[in-house]
Amino acid sequence: MDVIIRAVQKEAFPVEFSALADGNNLPKSSPLFKLHPKVDGGLLRIGGRIQHAPLEYAEKNPLILPKHSHVSMLLVRHYHEQVEHQGRHFTEGAIRSAGLWIIGCKRLVSAVIHNCIVCRKLRGKMETQTMADLPPERLSTFPPFTYVGLDVFGPWKVTARRTRGGHAESKRWAVLFTCMSTRAVHIEVIESMDTSSCINALRRFFAIRGPAKQLRSDRGTNFVGARNELEQTRQQSESSVWKYLSEHGCTWEFNSPHSSHMGGSWERMIGVARRILDSMLQKHKGLTHEILCTLMTEVSAIINARPLVPVSTDPDAPFILTPNTLLTQKVGAFPPMEGLSGKDLYRSQWKQTQVLASTFWSRWKREFLPTLQSRRKWAESRRNLQEGDVVLLRNSQVTRNEWPVALVTAAFPSRDGKVRKVEILTTKHGSSKKFVRPISEVTLLLPKETES
């Protein structure tokens, strides 16, 4: 060991060895100038002021090692493993207790911990990427509920029927439809989480709000089942909901699994609906299906009456920009018409409708769209996950020590070239499985370029 350290020291500090051998002072530019080093047995050690302290010789006069040395890296890794992969303070303490003084030790230890595979498995953060640009359906003047995001929330217990001994209860859920551009909502109550109830809710929604061009949701089993049934119906050429959807050019898109943050525009509305409903349920103890449907309608009305932008204190601008402004004029909810002015409010009825719609869309562009400009989080651009990277897959059902290690087999870049979802391969009990997951569900353990 002493032979290796002596070779490293002479290679890293030739000026210091020469000066000490000649009895000269070290130059001020030397990194060892303030350490007052001395040569003992051919090894460079710290001098210092604690020679009379009741400590071991190695602690009073630790060996000096350079930062940029493979030997220093190996020693830091060794003592980091000895303290069971604890943090920088634990590792530095173990190094100092062993009688070693590494120049720039803090940065070297931090670098070792940052690249440590075990530490990444134990405490590594999930991957992130800069926030993606908003899709066109959220930034264009489409009629309300042309592009829709939907999700299910609940359940609630309702009284199904009265009996002699009391009453029988059953559960109800609700499907929330969110307009991607106007931020309006529509809620439908369903009796179960199966595919049939989901399709019936869709039919009621289309009957009231008109056909949509695109539906977007997470990969809930009821949604996947509804889409599969619609696909089977189309293949069988039966006249049912699919025919209705296909005639109006409606498609159904799914977000990647385990990525609720990709549906934040409607997940946010579910949180608002829950808070309003919790307040309402304090006044209604005996909940029935009819009461629940009524409450859901009132919840929709309250949400749709919310201001989309901060309310102005200007007395000359009393008009509040809300989704209801457009929903109450749905017949005329088309992109703004040119050549209409405020005077048309007092003329024909159709012109009044068009002016109100035009006013909404002009203020929507001028006041609401700029609020979507900034990236409130995920502002930094990160390294893209690549095919061949080794990652740790999050599994909320088990402890972190039992999370499986996976291999990235495919990366799916977004429109901006950033990877936000990947296909991974895991092996368990001799069988291999592939999953598509967002990068927020994995931790990078070993990049492809460092595997060798």
Query: What predicted TM-score, i.e. pTM, was given to this entire model?
Result: 0.74
pLDDT score at 355: 65
Mean pLDDT for all residues in the chain: 83
Sheet holding 431-438: strands in order across?
431-438, 419-428, 405-413, 390-393, 442-446
Kindly state the average pLDDT of the residues 279-307. Answer: 86
The pLDDT tens digits for 9-25 are 888 888 888 888 877 78
- 425, 407 contact by CB (below 8 A): yes
Examine the pLDDT at 77 and tell me if it is beyond 90. Answer: yes
Give the CA angle between residues 308, 310, 311 to the nearest 5°. 100
Lowest model confidence (mean pLDDT) among 96-100, 328-332, 408-412: 328-332
Instruction: Tell me what pLDDT residue 332 has.
Output: 31
Q: Is the pLDDT of residue 250 over 50?
A: yes
pLDDT, mean of residues 436-450? 89
User: Residue 175: pLDDT band by 50, 70, 90 thresholds?
Assistant: very high
Which whole-number Å values give the CA distances from 164 to 161, 168, 288, in the listed order?
A: 10, 10, 17
Residue 344: predicted pLDDT? 46
pLDDT at 384: 93
Exposed/middle/buried for 22, CB within 10 Å: 0-12, 13-18, 19+? exposed
For 439, counting Cβ atoms within 10 Å of its Cβ (0-12 exposed, 13-18 middle, 19+ buried), the class is buried
pLDDT (mean) for 235-254: 65
Question: Which tens digits make up the pLDDT trace of 36-54?
Answer: 888 888 888 888 788 888 8
